[in-house]
Amino acid sequence: MRCAILGGAGFLGRHIGRAMASEGAEVWSVDRSLSAAGSAPWLAGEVQADCFDLPSWWDVVGGADVIVHLASSTVPATASEDPIQDVQTNLVGTLRLLQELRKKAVRPRLLFASSGGAVYGRPQYVPLCEAHPTMPMGAYGATKLAIEHHLRIEEAQHGLPCRILRLSNPYGEWQQPHGVQGVIAVFAHRALNAQPLDVWGDGSVVRDFVYAADVGYAFAAAARHEGETRIFNIGGGAGHSVNDIVHTLEQLLGHAVERRVFPARPFDPPVNVLDIQRAQNELFWKPTMAFEDGVAKSVEWLRTVA
Amino acid sequence: MRCAILGGAGFLGRHIGRAMASEGAEVWSVDRSLSAAGSAPWLAGEVQADCFDLPSWWDVVGGADVIVHLASSTVPATASEDPIQDVQTNLVGTLRLLQELRKKAVRPRLLFASSGGAVYGRPQYVPLCEAHPTMPMGAYGATKLAIEHHLRIEEAQHGLPCRILRLSNPYGEWQQPHGVQGVIAVFAHRALNAQPLDVWGDGSVVRDFVYAADVGYAFAAAARHEGETRIFNIGGGAGHSVNDIVHTLEQLLGHAVERRVFPARPFDPPVNVLDIQRAQNELFWKPTMAFEDGVAKSVEWLRTVA
């Protein structure tokens, strides 16, 4: 099985590539950037290209049986700042990909990384199962959801098989600590550098964190999946509060960490956790990394790049 | 109250304009086309403009308290043929409108005509209430739904009040009989001209038809609505089969009408009817036109333009 990972040089792309290669796939990265030399020995090759421009990479890779679609030009904050740009690049870009794929005699399977934190909107109950209403509260989630719909429609009308993985918050090695996403990497990096951690409210807000290598195995399972189901939640299986993260870091570092406390943000739902029963039942997948061990992996990796 | 109707010269725009004017609003049409001279005496004025280009019409109208957004460059078939074009004009166009409206000191209320036939997808039960899952099965519905989400998000983040009306299949005077939509107008026109009616399957497929003037009064009610609810189904309150339409026409014309029968289309859900209880309870609106009388109105009008 040949697999092209769109966004394969990034944090999540590396984990997914490694997981799929470990299960025997020939894995290519397609990304605007190349991996640092020698840093991704599991790859069969890399193409530096615009992921959404299929003709620029398809023949170089030699075609693909599976496309893992992680390509995104935005994060929630930048999508809200410029929703038109978000639609133009990510939604229209994906539609351009689909249009090119219609021309292929044999259609690859497309695995799409959607966002379990963004497409559902404010939880009506937790844990959120896949049948929960989808009422995104930001442009980022609206675009992820629109892409999901177009993928389902493309399969029904043009036979391109798809699987949609709604991820909670991935964390682990290779997650950059300087971004606006990834609280575990940000906190771990700041704690390692004796900088205070910014906490909104009392730190009781609970989120779903999933170790990125576990996400990689979920994609590998989705590549093999034979059933009728198309949408799967992929999460850590339990929630962790902001205070849990801080305590875990304090235990790993062996000392207290300073916090800077800001007022609670009223738009933050108090709890957001995904129900992953469907993925367990149908993909035969579940996360295997304990939270404390996963955070330790993040800290170890950040020490090597500090 | 000054009301700008984007798409005000079209079939539905005329009905909505007339209804809102009858309730005292100053109604302007904004449309690529002008109404035929003297044909829309209820209008305070018309602007021939690109609806999505707010600066080209806002000052001409003198600003608006209510914007009725009917502007669309596609129908389901054309959206499926070119989903990128559908997204570029209708979704991006709406986002451009929203961006311009953020600059206004006082935000008008935006009433959006969504599609109850397209946003839900295959009915899991009928009648479909507003909480039914939204799984559109075509690009047209995916775009309508994405616009809905962005309107909700715009209200939450930037205070632009909105109401979303998910219409079933409007019919009535001014509906053109040469399009790919509007089975009642198409059938009535063909029956009047002694042409056979194309029926797929046994004619038992049931759809929801709502008389367009009733839709007009629903928009007028949504313009006044003060509650927290944002999404309303607007339908005829009951389903009618394709055979019902044919029988009604035969009764009105006083003679049998020839049918051309084609194989049933497996993707046609057998029944699609909207639950309109919420609109009755919260907008204090319900359709008033009996089906037979509404079809008679369509036929009468088609006779005048035949």
Q: HEC profile for A219-252?
A: HHHHHHCCCCCCEEEECCCCEEEHHHHHHHHHHH
The mean per-residue pLDDT over the stretch B154-182 comes to: 94
Same domain, A115 and A85: yes
Is the Cβ of B8 closer than 8 Å to some Cβ of chain A?
no
Are A56 and A4 in contact by the 8 Å Cβ rule? The answer is: no
Same domain, B139 and B246: no
| pLDDT exceeds 90 at position A179 | no
Q: Give the percent of chain B with pLDDT over 90.
A: 96
Same domain, B85 and B182: no
If pLDDT is split at 50, 70 and 90, which confidence band does B306 have? low
User: Which residues have CB under 8 Å from B197's CB, separation 6+?
Assistant: B187, B190, B191, B246, B257, B258, B259, B260
Domain range enclosing A267: 172-207+238-271+291-305
Q: Which residue has the tokens 């890779």?
A: A61
User: CA–CA separation, B173 vs B305, rounded Å?
Assistant: 10
Same domain, A118 and A129: yes
Chain B residues lying within 8 Å of A141, measured CB to CB: 149
User: CA–CA separation, B90 vs B115, rounded Å?
Assistant: 14
Side-chain-side CA neighbours of residue B119 (13 Å): 30
Of A8, A10, A32, nearest in space to A20 by CA:
A8
Are A56 and A50 in contact by the 8 Å Cβ rule? The answer is: yes
Same domain, B28 and B145: yes
Same domain, B62 and B81: yes
Same domain, A57 and A162: yes
- How much is the pLDDT for A265? 84
Kindly report the CATH number assigned to the domain that includes residue B104.
3.40.50.720
Please give the mean pLDDT across all residues of chain A.
96
User: Tell me, what DSSP letter sits at residue A129?
Assistant: P
| pLDDT exceeds 80 at position A267 | no
Token pair in block for residue A219: 């994609």
Q: For residue A114, give the 3-state DSSP assignment.
A: strand
| pLDDT exceeds 70 at position A306 | no
Give the mutation candidate from B91, B98, B231 for the A interface (greatest A CB count, under 10 A).
B91
User: CA–CA separation, A10 vs A271, rounded Å?
Assistant: 28
- How much is the pLDDT for B51? 98
- How much is the pLDDT for B133? 97
| pLDDT exceeds 80 at position B222 | yes
Q: For residue B128, give the 3-state DSSP assignment.
A: strand
Please give the mean pLDDT across all residues of chain B.
96
Same domain, A121 and A189: no
Kindly report the CATH number assigned to the domain that includes residue A179.
3.90.25.10
Q: For A116-137, give one letter per residue: b (16+ CB within 10 A) or e.
A: bbbbbbebeebbbebebebbbb
For residue B158, the chain A residue with the least C-alpha distance is A80
Give how far Cα B210 sits from Cα of A75, A106, A234, B213, Å. Answer: 42, 44, 42, 9
Same domain, B82 and B221: yes
Please answer yes or no on whether A150 and B139 come within 8 Å at the CB atom: yes
Please answer yes or no on whether B88 and A83 come within 8 Å at the CB atom: no
- How much is the pLDDT for B81? 95
- How much is the pLDDT for B11? 96
Same domain, A116 and A191: no
User: Which residues have CB under 8 Å from B45's CB, separation 6+?
Assistant: B28, B29, B60, B61
Are A213 and A288 in contact by the 8 Å Cβ rule? The answer is: no
Q: For residue A218, give the 3-state DSSP assignment.
A: helix
Chain B residues lying within 8 Å of A150, measured CB to CB: 83, 139, 142
Is the Cβ of B124 closer than 8 Å to some Cβ of chain A?
no
- How much is the pLDDT for B8? 98
Is the Cβ of B93 closer than 8 Å to some Cβ of chain A?
no
| pLDDT exceeds 80 at position A104 | yes
Which amino acid appears at position A186 of this protein?
V
Q: Which residue has the tokens 């790859």?
A: A43
- Min Cα–Cα distance to chain B from A35, Å: 32
Number of folded domains in chain B?
A: 2
Q: Give the percent of chain B with pLDDT over 70.
A: 100
The mean per-residue pLDDT over the stretch B296-306 comes to: 93
- How much is the pLDDT for B237? 97
| pLDDT exceeds 70 at position A180 | yes
Is the Cβ of A229 closer than 8 Å to some Cβ of chain B?
no
Beta bridge partners of B67: B4, B110
The mean per-residue pLDDT over the stretch A177-183 comes to: 87
User: CA–CA separation, B17 vs B213, rounded Å?
Assistant: 10
User: Tell me, what DSSP letter sits at residue B31?
Assistant: E
State pLDDT tens for residues B101-133. Answer: 999 999 999 999 999 999 999 999 999 999 999
Same domain, A38 and A119: yes
Q: Which helix (H) or strand (E) holds A100?
A: helix A92-101
- Min Cα–Cα distance to chain A from B74, Å: 16
Same domain, A195 and A63: no
